A = this chain, B = another copy of it.
Amino acid sequence: MSEVYEARRARLRDRCNAGGSQAALISRPANVRYLAGAAPRGAVLLLGKTEDLLVCVGPPDGRPADGRPDEALRIHTLPGAGGDPAVAAADLAAAQGGDSLAVEEHHLTVARHRAIRSVVPRLRLADLGGAVEQLRVVKDEEEISCLRIGAEIADQALGELLESILVGRTERHLGLELERRLVDHGADGPAFPTSVATGPNSGRRGHRPTDRRVEEGDFLSVCLGATYRGYRCEIGRTFVIGTSPADWQIELYDLVFAAQRAGREALAPGTAYRDVDRAARQVLDSAGYHEGLPALTGHGVGLEIDEDPQLAPAAMGKLDACVPVTVEPGVHLPGRGGVRIDDTLVVRPEADGGPELLTITTKELLAL
């Protein structure tokens, strides 16, 4: 695995040098993990002029699920618990003879930035911006394979829930049961707080489970994901509780399904992010749901559950092959509930069969 991390660091180093900085300080945990194989708590990565270093506050001793640091990387452990690894790393960058250091200004706090400047005043600080986040957008097959396994786990957990009795159970308990099942099937843990929404709560993005119980006739919408070796996927489905859905429920479901399909079908290398969003959005729009639509139709997934790209009306950029994204339109009618359908897919060229669906649980409207 070491070559993978070295290659990633080499690519970042090229960008960094092109931007006029000899060294870079990576502090955002997902970025540290991407480049170093692991992100022990508080650790930062120094991409140094002469040597790269993982700077930790204590010996890195996480679970295997948290990743193991790249063996080619020297680990520098701070002696005390009070030190700031970012300040120590900047000091080491200066000791390597560098005179400039790019930092992640979108992650580093003003106070830490100031501490670095005061400890190493002769170091010129620049902004690395989202350079690592950009490298992370296109995944290699190893990363996609982790997402694929995570999606299988989420499908299994959801499938088992559907076989159990649901009426009378609370959103909160269903959410906890799903999270237990994720771990039972080998997940490191949930990819994000599991959302279970019933009745009037159904269809709300990011709904936090309450003590409301599942009732006959409810819409039940569920959104969950597994973390597998650090990679996070997402699936969302909506079901009806009871023997037969009401007409408005069937209509609304069909509409959101059509929007979600339009979004999925728009996924192709070269398609603008905003065009994927528009494909899904206009289905809902033309049915009269202008108001209250979510701000985005989908987003990238990987070491974080919500990463670049954003599939949204104002997003700039185009899809590449091997970019995993969610497609997750939804409609929520205040007081009545609603529908969300959410898949994780990998963008693939037409010649390879088009977008690869990772979350394969059926999208038929099931009456449970």
Contacts and interface: CB of A to CB of B under 8 A. Distances in A.
A357 interface: no
Given A176-B183, A180-B180, A66 B208 contact: yes
Interface string A196-238: 0000000010001110000000000000000000000000000
A37 to B, nearest CB: 17
Interface stretch (A14-22, A101-109, A262-270): A101-109
A109 B111 contact: no
B295 A81 contact: yes
Nearest to A108: B110
A139 interface: no
Contact of A109 (B108, B176, B209): B108
A68 to B, nearest CB: 14
Contacts of A61: 204
Contacts of A81: 295-296, 312
A82 B295 CA distance: 9
Interface in A252-301: 295-296
A114 interface: yes
A80 B295 contact: yes
Interface in A164-210: 172-173, 176, 179-180, 183, 204, 208-210
A164 to B, nearest CB: 15
A344 to B, nearest CB: 21
A114 B105 CA distance: 9
A318 interface: no
Nearest to A177: B180
A314 interface: yes
Q: How many copies does the complex hold?
A: 2
Nearest to A206: B41
B106 A314 contact: no
Nearest to A193: B189
Contacts of A172: 183
A113 interface: yes
A62 interface: yes
A248 to B, nearest CB: 23
A45 to B, nearest CB: 18
A59 to B, nearest CB: 10
Interface string A115-153: 000000000000100000000000000000000000000
Interface in A46-83: 61-63, 66, 80-82
Interface of A: 61-63, 66, 80-82, 103, 105-111, 113-114, 127, 172-173, 176, 179-180, 183, 204, 208-210, 295-296, 312, 314
27 contacts: A61-B204, A62-B208, A63-B208, A63-B209, A81-B295, A81-B296, A82-B295, A82-B314, A105-B109, A105-B110, A105-B114, A106-B109, A106-B110, A106-B111, A108-B109, A108-B110, A109-B110, A110-B110, A110-B113, A110-B127, A111-B127, A172-B183, A173-B183, A176-B179, A176-B180, A176-B183, A180-B180
